Amino acid sequence: MYFFDDGKRVCGVFVHDITKGTFIKESKNRFLCTVMIDGLVNECYVPSSSRIENYLKLKNREVLLTKNKSKNRRTEYSLFAVKYYNKYILVNLNMVNSIVQFLIQENKLKSLSSFSIKREHIINGYKTDLLIENDEGNRNIIEVKGVISSKQEVMFPSVYSERAIFQLSRIKQLLHEGEKVTYIITSLSPTVRRIKLDDTYREYYHSFKECLDLGMQTQAFSVNFHNGEIIFGKRIRIIL
């Protein structure tokens, strides 16, 4: 489980020592940024494989930071969330699988009640994000995606991704083989109300629709960060 040092539960891992700061800029190295903390400039780790400023304007905004445990880390802090409209948008996309797993375990996603959950389980050569099985042995492959935005409507995907297209081709094969698949898009921002599939990425768009025709289920929802805890926000409409 995630816990803050005051015992607040988050989702799946332990997080300690939340610190507030003011964002200055992202570095040329996309995994680093500079933040003002108590009047001092600090270099902080950015837990994302893409630049956060592709999604959000961060300069001079209040941010939340977590203290890094490893003594071998170059930085003392990691970027955790940014304040928008008096709410916090999480920026750590690496947390998305843990968040979805936690919400399934807590029975927040009613259609995905499960007996057991496995992470990164291999099925016919495909590495799942999550695999759930119920008492009857029925299983459901869960593919998890995350989005970060300050807008109410988000285009998805936000960038071209050969990996995402390849995943859909493998999902299509699994559906043909009789597997059940659910594609979950999780917004780390409470502001998002709608997710629209971007048909300009034609290969992804058509592959996604083919998977739907073969029985793939989809759902999307947001999460909130409130009183030191990540909680289920609301369902989000997916527009094709």
Q: Domains of the chain, with CATH numbers?
A: 19-90 (2.40.50.580), 93-239 (3.40.1350.60)
The larger pLDDT score, comparing residue 50 to residue 35, is at: 35
Weakest-pLDDT range from 10-24, 90-104, 116-130, 190-204: 10-24
Tokens linked to 9: 């539960």
What mean pLDDT do residues 207-211 have?
Answer: 98
How many angstroms from the chain centroid is the CA of residue 226?
Answer: 17
Weakest-pLDDT range from 28-32, 48-52, 204-208: 48-52
d(CA 115, CA 49): 33
pLDDT number for residue 234: 93
Tell me the β-bridge partners of 20: 64
Q: If you write DSSP's letter for every residue of 148-215 in order, what string do you get?
A: --SSSEEEESSS--HHHHHHHHHHHHHHHTT--EEEEEEES-TT--EEEE-TTSHHHHHHHHHHHHTT
Residue 7 pLDDT class (50, 70, 90 cuts): very low
Weakest-pLDDT range from 81-90, 107-116, 129-138, 221-230: 107-116
Burial class (CB in 10 A: 0-12, 13-18, 19+), 8: middle
Is the pLDDT at 111 greater than 90, yes or no? no
Tokens linked to 20: 């507030």
Asked whether the whole model's pTM tops 0.85, one would answer yes
Weakest-pLDDT range from 72-76, 99-103, 155-159, 170-174: 72-76
Residue 151 pLDDT class (50, 70, 90 cuts): very high
How far is it between the farthest Cα atoms of the chain?
A: 59
pLDDT above 70 covers a percentage of the chain that reads: 93
Weakest-pLDDT range from 131-135, 162-166, 213-217, 225-229: 225-229
What mean pLDDT do residues 198-226 have?
Answer: 96
Residue 197 pLDDT class (50, 70, 90 cuts): very high
Could you give the C-alpha distances from 163 to 92, 129, 175, in angstroms and in order? Answer: 20, 14, 18
**151 Cβ contact list (under 8 Å, min separation 6):** 191, 192
DSSP letter assigned to residue 94: G
**Crossing angle of helices 162-176 and 202-213, rounded to 10°:** 20
pLDDT number for residue 12: 41
Task: Indicate the average pLDDT of the chain.
Answer: 89
pLDDT number for residue 11: 53
pLDDT number for residue 167: 97
Is the pLDDT at 8 greater than 50, yes or no? no
In the chain, alpha helices (H)? 96-105, 162-176, 202-213
Say if CB 146 and CB 188 are below 8 A apart.
yes
pLDDT number for residue 72: 74
Say if CB 53 and CB 60 are below 8 A apart.
no
Could you give the C-alpha distances from 96 to 12, 178, 215, in angstroms and in order? Answer: 10, 27, 24
d(CA 175, CA 212): 10
Say if CB 63 and CB 23 are below 8 A apart.
yes
Which tens digit of pLDDT belongs to each residue from 51-99?
888 889 999 999 999 988 777 778 999 999 999 999 999 998 888 999 9
